[in-house]
Structure formats: structure tokens, C-alpha cells
A = this chain, B = another copy of it.
């Protein structure tokens, strides 16, 4: 089958519903969009490569689903409503294109994101790049550089579970406790929009480990922060399953959990959001922002009040 017929069948009208934002979708040299007045547009793009972002024996449709959800998580972190996506599918052959296309479009349908464009091409390594666009009221996007030194630090979602799941996958424990966190990602889009509408200014998604991503907020906002690890959702469960040291490592440095880390003045949220989310998306206070000083830089972890000294880096592709 020719490339063009394949694209037509796989991708035309295969994502979420058509949006007023998109005036012309797949099929021309470019897609055409009419942004709504008073709205800002938010755009993020990520690549996922076989053997790097997913294990070589991972199903391709699931890998592509994850790739889309990972990109959508960036929109969640800004508090944006997802609108449309563009897919670049690089595949070893027709079967791989189909599987990657099916997985990606399934995720787009699940979150009702229109597929506005993209391309397919041959490659000796299966990979895809996913570009997503969302919208939100002008000047309301949550940003990494908007934390204040007296903000409270909150988390929505779990951290550490993906790293442990990946270990189980490589160990062949396909019925392991944490495998579900490898098999799919749930971008916290509703939570992100709820936070932005509540007035939260600063948020990031945890894609590279709690320590590194918290550090990004610290650097961008010129603050430091103290995080109490025992407050993390299911911390005790993690310790029971793998021991305290491995639990600590997985929450601090394990990536791809796609929880939302955000800050807010103590009086903005109080405990009011504590149980506002779905059972899986609790908002939990996990720490406190601080002034940045010569002695106090970046994010510091504490376990039951005792400082933990850890190297401050997550997974680093070219480290």
C-alpha cells in the first residue's frame, strides 16, 4: 500500500473530534488554525525512541499511546486544555507504522485531541515525535518561574512507581505490582486546569524524577524548597515493597511518573483541594518553598524531618 493511502486510512479523522481552532486539518502542506481571541496557545513537543524511551519488547501501540500522553502531560503542567496534535511517525515498516499510528490515535481519541497533521517515514529505529497544542485564558499559564519563597509545595499524583515498574518489566515480572505504571500514562489534564483556574501560578510535571524537576522550579523561580518524602502518596507502600533505600531512589530520581508538582500561597488552597481530585489524583502537601541562600540551594529531601543527602540529578541522556 502506498504511503499516502496508508496515511489516509490510519490518520484521517482518527484522533479526537474536530475543533473550531482547526480550519484545515490533515491533507495539505500545513494545517490552518484560527486561535480564539483572549486565549493563549501552549505548545510542547517530545520524541520517543525505541530502546531509549520504551523497552525493545514493549508493544508499539502502547509505546505510542504513552508518547502522546507524555506530551499531553506537559499541557497539564501549564493548565491548558488540549486542542490538537501533530505526529511524526518514524517506523521500520508498514506494520510498525500501523501499530504506532493506532496507539497514538487511540490516546488522542481518549483525551479528545484532534490530529491536525504529521508525517510518516521509514527509519531503522521505531520512533515518534509528538507535538501538542493547548489553549487557556491569556496570561494564566502555570510556569516554572512563578513560585514564591513562602509558597507551600503540593503534589498531585504518584512518584517512583514508574521506575519500579520498569525494573519489574526488565526482570520479566509482567504481573508485578508496578507494571501498570509502565503500561500507560494518565496525563493529569483535569487537575492541571483545576489548579490554574484556582489561581495556582507555578507547576511542573515530574518527568525526570522529583529531585530534578523540583530543581527546575527552584532554578527558574530563584528559590529553594524542602520536601518531606514521607508525605508522598503511598510512601509506606513503596517502602514495604522495595525497602526504604530503593523507594527513596525511585521517587527522587525515577522518571516518567507525570505527577504534577506545584506551589501556592498557604492561604490560596489551604487544605481545600486535599480531596478535591479523583481518588487517584489527590492533592497532597509535600513541602515548603524557602528563600534561596548561599547554603540553601535547590530542592532538599527530608525523611521524617531528617535531611537526606542525595546527588541532584535524574536520568540524563547525554550525561
Contacts and interface: CB of A to CB of B under 8 A. Distances in A.
A27 B127 contact: no
A35 interface: yes
B35 A35 contact: yes
Contacts of A317: 3, 120-122
B319 A46 contact: no
Nearest to A313: B2
Contact of A144 (B29, B90, B117, B131): B29
Contact of A31 (B1, B37, B43, B204): B43
A116 interface: yes
A52 B119 contact: no
Contacts of A45: 86-88, 117-119, 129, 131
B6 A318 contact: yes
A149 interface: no
Nearest to A131: B131
Contacts of A138: 34
Contacts of A117: 43-45
Interface stretch (A70-78, A162-170, A174-182, A224-232): A70-78
A134 B42 contact: no
